[in-house]
Amino acid sequence: MSEPFVQALHDVFGRPDVWLIVFLSACYGIFVGSIPGLTATMAVALFVPMAYWLDPVAAVAAIVTMVACAIFAGDLPTVFLRIPGTPASAAYADEAYR
Q: 1-22: per-residue pLDDT in tens?
A: 688 888 888 888 888 999 999 9
d(CA 82, CA 97): 6
Amino acid letter, 8: A
Average pLDDT over residues 66-85: 86
Cβ 32 vs Cβ 38: under 8 Å: yes
Across residues 48-75, what is the average pLDDT?
92
Phi/psi of residue 37, nearest 5 degrees: 100, -20
The pTM assigned to this predicted structure is: 0.83
Q: What is the pLDDT of residue 1?
A: 66
Query: Does the pLDDT value for residue 37 go beyond 90?
Result: no
Count the Cβ atoms, other than its own, within 10 Å of residue 24.
13
Whether 74 contacts 39, CB under 8 Å: yes
